[in-house]
Structure 1
Amino acid sequence: MNNDVIANLKFLDRYQSNSELIISKINLDDIKDTYSCDSKFIIECKSKIDLNNLNVVDLYNTKKIYTEENKVVFVMGQHAVKMKKAFTEYVTDKKIVNLKMS
């Protein structure tokens, strides 16, 4: 089953100015439909990311956020299914993303 999500994210940076982030793929394959520790939520972007410009600190139950070249990796502590739901709600609630399941 393909769990990829194609998205165009727009985050507010720390100075509250619009900072558009073009997303090529959100890879949810590592997030299982069971409660698990240290699951990874990976966003692959078309260009290198400066994590300091992303205001994602209040994402649900995120243990660690780091970047790898053009990826933003969220490492969840537990309840990965809730993390999927919370991420979608977070970005939808702030009206900064248009998510489509493909």
Structure 2
Amino acid sequence: MYTSFYVRPSAGEQVETTVALRPDTRPALLGTAVDQSGKPVAGALAVLTISGKTEPDRVVHVTYTDELGRFAFGPLEPGALYQVSLHADAMLRRSLEQPEE
């Protein structure tokens, strides 16, 4: 089930609402990244690629796992072939220094 709506609160305003969900048949993928000992991996890069039938494969979504190693992709196209790639501690990292003005 799902729904979608917009809200633009004013300063100091508390918005309350009741949301009625509609049936949703779109697929989704939920997963948990764990290390070799079964502990959740936080901050892993999760990349979702859709396999192209007549065009090259393309990245459709990128996210990071949360503190419990969880990630989610959706909604997905029914019947489409997807590849999920997870990358943890495999990237070179650097800090970008901002020039002083």
Q: What TM-score, normalized by structure 2, do the two folds share?
A: 0.30
Q: What TM-score, normalized by structure 1, do the two folds share?
A: 0.30
- Whose relative contact order is higher, 1 or 2, with alpha carbons under 8 Å and at least 6 apart? 1
Greater fraction of residues in helix? 1
Larger radius of gyration: 2
Greater fraction of residues in strand? 1
